[in-house]
Structure formats: structure tokens, C-alpha cells
Structure 1
Amino acid sequence: MKTWNQLFTRQGFVVEEKSPNEFICTNERKENVEFLLESLDKANVKYLFFADVLTIDSPPISEKQWLQAVDFPKRGVWEAIGVEEPKVFELDTYMSGVIRELNRLGLRTVYCCDGHGQRRPYVSFGEQTNMEKVMQLFHALEVDVSLRPSRFPRVVFSVNRERLLDLAEQMWKVQIDWLEQGEAYIRKMLFLYELEELLSVSGESGNEDAIRAVVYEKLAPYVDHITIDRYGNLLAQKTCKTGNGPTILLNAHLDTVESFVLGRTIVKQGAIWSSSEGILGADDRAGVAVLLEIAKWLDTSSFNGTIKFVFTVEEECGLVGARKLSEYFLWDVDAAIVVDRRGTGDIVTSCGTTQPFCDIRYGQFFEQVAYDAGLTGWKCTAGGSSDTRIWAEHGIQSVNLSAGYEWEHTNDETLDTDACYGTVQLIQAVLNQWRDFSRMLRDVRMANREGVTVMRM
């Protein structure tokens, strides 16, 4: 269920959230505030509006109900947008949030269409709009678009109109000065924004409901199938391109060793984050953030194959969620990548010296890809217990990658956010080499059949 703030943002209303049910409307134009109140009336939502402050007395409604409330016959039919301050009710229902955000960022628009469920959505921009910044923004947001140059350059979206609502919510997080720094900077800043969101949601072992709901909502727009199994593990699947490549399991765990201290803050000293009180929870919120970033990136990547996501519960108290995962979900998995290792640059290929996770060639593939991509410091090593043990017991070639945290399970826990983002980049580089990845796995299988298994110890 979306919050009121999300519903307003996704539709393009410029209001400031004072509390989950209270909003300051002084920065929104009169016509848009009137339309907002009319829509709330239409949805039978109880509210009080006084002195430009909107107080809502009802819980959030579903987005389907909200869309029905803000929609009306021939809304956006003229496809015309005021260059300075477009009115929400003049914009197509699924495009209004995107347009308001583009104009907020100084990327002036002149026409738009959400496709009405029949054709591709598009936005046309003013003659003076910096289209290089426009394209960098959309690429950073991992949305598949094409540019059609003309007097009023047009950007066409290769997504359905429902995805535009998610896009508006993502764009709301972007700050104007980020546009001056380029695509790579915007990508990283959005990742850090989401990482901080995840670190704000508590969820110790056995009490993962809240964090699971957040991850479910964030992941759902980017996968083909998503479900929660009877043990509480969150499972999802995404087939990319033709799906002819490998099937790879990506795994992180939802639980933390204890709950977050109420009211704690995240202390940031450059790239190093810590908690003002209690654990930070980067074990394994950092791994969760990495996997969500990969999910967003897949549509615009060159990866051809299938990705299965597993966000497990109760990892911290004995790998419980992974042990209870239904075996059928793993039947077609060719390899696994887990993100749940302390430090930086570790490619964990065994649990101590007793349980190998993979053939040595599997770990060495990650080393080589990291080297070729200019990601320094990645090396194969032995490590401790993690869900990786369970996937290896199923005969799946598996590694556990560093997520950047140190001193986990203590009040001194820290997270190197640069290292955490480096893990994103390594997984992206590995998946972009999916052909070589498939050949390496084939060679490992052939060698194993011939009895020439070489395991990392």
C-alpha cells in the first residue's frame, strides 16, 4: 500500500510532507490544490484544509482507487503543457508526475502523452532544454527511452504507462544540482538514497514483516513474478531478452541480528556510515540495496538470461529461511551470487576450509571481471557462515561478495558506501559478460563429470 505522500508524488502534486497525514501546500499553485481536494472528495477521503495545510483523517487508499479519483473523461486530451507551471489536471493521468518532476528539475516540457494503454508514452521538450541532461537523467533512472530529434525533441518510453508512476517517484528524489554531475553520479546518489531508506526500516530475525513489505514494493515493478513463500522468504524472477543465457540466483537476507534503536540517526562521515546508537544494520541491508539496484538495471543491461531473487528470513539465527526454501525454486539455477560479506573486495568461495562453495574457476571468473572493469582489490578468500552454504549444498556454484560493512552485530558497525556501490558495479560487470559466464559454467560442469573438480579451499 502506498503512503499518501507517494500517491501525491506519483500524480505530480507538489506538497511538503509534515507528517504521514499532514501536508503543507504553500508551494503548489491554487488550481492544483483545488484539483487535489476535489480528487480527495471524489475518493470519499476525510480531510481538513486550513491555512494551506492539508490534514487527512483517513488511511491511504489503494493506487487503483486514487487513479480513479484523479481521472476524468478526456483528461489531458489537448496534450499541452504549460512551460513554466503545468496544471496537473491538464496532463495525462499516468504522465503528470513525470512532467511535474521534469519541470522542477529545469528540463522544460511542451507536450506529452501517456500512451493511453495503446501506444508508447512520450514527452516533447522545449527548444532550449538541455537534452543531454534529459537523456543522462533517464539513463541514470534505468528507464529504456529513445530520442527523436526535432524542433521540439521527443523522448519515447519503451515501458507501459504504469511504470511512469514509479518513474515519477524516483525522479522526486533527484536534486537539481545532481544534473551537473552526470549520469554516473545520479545513479550513485539514487542508490545511496535507497540504501538510507532501507536502513530506516527495522526487522530483526522473526520480525521481518515491515522490511519485507518495503522490499516487495520496491522490487515488484522490475520483475516478472514475485511472491512470498510460506516461511516468509521473498522470491522473484526476471527473464531478460530471450532468456537463453544462464539462470542466476541473487541472494541477500532481510533480517538483522537485533532491532534498530528507536529514534537513532545515521551518522555520515564521508563514505563511512554508522549508527548514532545500536547496530547500523548494514548486515544485510547493504546486500538488499545492492540486489534492488541490480533489479532496476536489468532492463537496460545486455544480460540475456534469467535472474532469480531470494530475500531470506531468519538468516542470523541459523540460515533458517534458506534451509526452508522450496527446492523446486532452485532446480534450474546455474549459479548463485550472495551479497552478505563484511569488508571490501572479498569473493568468498568456501566456509573456512571445510565447505567449498564453488569450483576455483567460478571465483576466479569474478576476480578477472573485476580486474578488467578496473574494480581493484577483489580476491577469492575463505569466509564464514551465510546462506551461501545452503546453495552450495544444493550443488550450485556460489560465491558471497563483500557488501562494505565492518563490525557487524555491534554498536561499532560501519558501512563503506563506496565499497557497497562497488559491489553493484562488479555484479553488473559479471552479468554483462553473460556469454563468458555461461562458457565458464559449462567448462566447470564438463570437468566435474570427468572427475576433475577443482574446489576453492
Structure 2
Amino acid sequence: MERLMTLYNIASPSGKEKPMLRYLKAELKRMGIACRQDRLGNLYAVKGQAKTYPCVVAHVDEVHHHRTGTYGAYVVADAMVIGYDYRHKRMTGIGADDKNGIWICLKCLEDFKVMKCAFFVQEENGCIGSREADMAFFSDCRFVLQCDRRGDSDFVTRIHGTELCTRDFIGCAAAPKYGYKPAEGATTDVYMLKRRGLPVSCANISCGYYEPHTDREYTILEDLHKCYRFVRHIVIAHKTVSIHSPEAEQYPFSGYYELFGIGGYSEEEYQRMLGRFKSGCSRKLLKKDFI
């Protein structure tokens, strides 16, 4: 819990992720885990030595802008976490998208003897970090998981018409047993990696945050722990490489700021946006509609 609250209290808006990256490098050093950083700021961590590795990724940026000393994250009734802005005397987002994913990555690095994790910058700006990530890092991965999905039950195996993984991978994951179901999702880093030729199965998983990109954002702690139990199961169950060839891109997709600005979006707008993408609407028209 202490680490999670620390993550929530580190401001990391897109393009200004240095405080979060410093924290992660310090944590990895404390755990004795080797890491390196590329020119964009992406971090790559490797624990143990093996022919193949399970891999979990997260993005380090958030859409919220907090000022040190005027913001705090709080646990409510041992069940949920909210943010509060002292200056404006109101709730504010906690950046659980994707600090919950960062927390799961660090838990995996602690709990497993062999693991790879990547931490990407500027996902909210159009997956800038993963768009330029070192793909060689994933050449010996069995699969790649990301925990960057709202709610508590989506096992995203398809994004914008692109399949992310094999049927065998889905079957072995046993999602219903852990309270998850296959779903179609929106753009995030694993989708960008797949577009760039990631040759193994990947998926995005609901990790217990709700109303992302708004001042009402919150985390249900049990749902976050549920996500980790599911990730832990997948890591244990998949001991071999899940080879999966990426499909051709079907729906190009902009980042959060490109489409919506910092004001956020409603769920109705989000669903309407996906529908128009699938009907062939151009990116230019979408930006005009939503900004």
C-alpha cells in the first residue's frame, strides 16, 4: 500500500515524467534489478537470466497536472483511493491510469525470479514512448502484458480490429476463473508494439481504476489486487513463447491529448468515437468533433 500511495503522489504529466522515472530507477536499484534508459526516457528492466522471459509493461505518464504541496491521495474506508486538491478544495485525478500498472510491474519484479518490465513515456500523447521503443528488448519474451484498462473485468485481446494474441494464449489464461472476459479495447502501448511487429501474444487488462482522465478518477483496491492475481496466474501458466504474428493496421489512432485536450471526455463521447473509427471516419474529423 505504501508504494502505491507513493506512486499516486508523484506528479508525472506527459512530457514531464522525470520525477517518476527517478523514483523507478531508485526502486529498481534498491531491488538489485538491472535497468537501462533510452534517449526518450523509456526504462527497460530485466531480472534473472533465462532463455525466455514473461514481460509486463506500463506507461509512466498521466493526464493530470498536480502541484506539489496542494495535492494528496487518500484511502477511503480501506477500500478505495481518491485524490484531493487542497488549493481548489475538490477531488482530482490520481493518475491511476497508469500508476496501477506501474505498481503491478514492480510487484512482478519483486515476486518472480525471472521477469522483464518496460516503462514507457508519453503514452497519453499518442504512445510516443512505445512508438520508438527498442523492439529487440522483446525478442526473448514469452508474451507481453499491460495493465492499463479501466474497470475490473476486461481482458483486452483485440484493439481496433487487430488481434493481439492467439486463441491458445486466451484459453491458457483462463480469464473467467479470475473474473475476466475477452474484450476489445482502445489504443495503448501493447497495441503500438503489435503494430510495430511484436511477434508474441500480448493483452491489456483491467486494473481497478475508474473514470480515468477526469477529476473523479479513483481506484478500488480489491480490483487492483484482483488484476495482480490474474497477471500472476498468466506468468506462472505460460512457460513457453506464445508466437503470434501481428496483423496489418486497420484503424490509426491518436493520443489522448490529440483527440480530447486536457479537459477529458465522457463515456458517451468515447463510445461514439470508437463507432466512428470503425465506420471509416477520418482522424481530422474526429479531432474537430472532440476538441
TM-score higher than 0.5 here?
yes
Q: Which amino acid is 1:293 matched to?
A: K
- Kindly indicate whether residue 204 of structure 2 is the aligned counterpart of residue 396 of structure 1: no
Q: CA deviation at 1:281?
A: 0.7
Aligned residues of 1:339 and 1:401 also touching (Cα < 8 A): yes
Q: CA deviation at 1:407?
A: 0.6
Q: Which amino acid is 2:229 matched to?
A: Q
**CA separation of 1:421/1:274 partners in 2, compared to 1, >3 Å: closer, same or farther?**
same
**CA separation of 1:363/1:260 partners in 2, compared to 1, >3 Å: closer, same or farther?**
farther
The corresponding residue for 2:171 is: 364
Q: Which amino acid is 1:258 matched to?
A: H
Give the aligned length. 235
Q: Which amino acid is 2:59 matched to?
A: H
Rounded to whole Å, the distance in 1 between the matches of 2:119 and 2:14 is 13
Q: Which runs of 5+ in 2 are unaligned?
A: 85-90, 246-291
- Kindly indicate whether residue 58 of structure 2 is the aligned counterpart of residue 252 of structure 1: yes
Deviations 1:27-63 (CA, angstroms, capped at 9, x unpaired):
xxxxxxxxxxxxxxxxxxxxxxxxxxxxxxxxxxxxx
Q: Which runs of 5+ in 1 are unaligned?
A: 1-191, 300-305, 449-457
- Kindly indicate whether residue 1 of structure 2 is the aligned counterpart of residue 222 of structure 1: no
Deviations 1:188-246 (CA, angstroms, capped at 9, x unpaired):
xxxx1110011010010000000111011112343542111111001111125xx25x3
- Identity across the alignment (%): 23
- Kindly indicate whether residue 221 of structure 2 is the aligned counterpart of residue 412 of structure 1: no
Deviations 1:10-40 (CA, angstroms, capped at 9, x unpaired):
xxxxxxxxxxxxxxxxxxxxxxxxxxxxxxx
Equivalences for residues 47-66 of structure 1 within 5 A = none
- Kindly indicate whether residue 237 of structure 2 is the aligned counterpart of residue 433 of structure 1: yes
Deviations 1:355-404 (CA, angstroms, capped at 9, x unpaired):
22112322232235x62xxx3x2111111110011222223310001110
Which consecutive segments of 4 or more residues in structure 1 shift more than 3 A?
Answer: 221-224
Equivalences for residues 68-83 of structure 1 within 5 A = none
Q: Which amino acid is 1:256 matched to?
A: E
Q: Which amino acid is 2:94 matched to?
A: L
Q: CA deviation at 1:261?
A: 4.5
Aligned residues of 2:173 and 2:237 also touching (Cα < 8 A): no
Equivalences for residues 144-183 of structure 1 within 5 A = none
SS in 2 for 1:409: coil
- Larger of the two Rg values belongs to structure: 1
Rounded to whole Å, the distance in 2 between the matches of 1:434 and 1:313 is 28
SS in 1 for 2:112: helix
SS in 2 for 1:316: helix
The corresponding residue for 2:187 is: 385
The corresponding residue for 1:170 is: none
Equivalences for residues 93-104 of structure 1 within 5 A = none
- Kindly indicate whether residue 138 of structure 2 is the aligned counterpart of residue 330 of structure 1: yes
RMSD: 2.0
Rounded to whole Å, the distance in 2 between the matches of 1:432 and 1:249 is 12
Rounded to whole Å, the distance in 2 between the matches of 1:367 and 1:260 is 39
**So what's the TM-score if we normalise by structure 1?**
0.49
SS in 2 for 1:230: coil
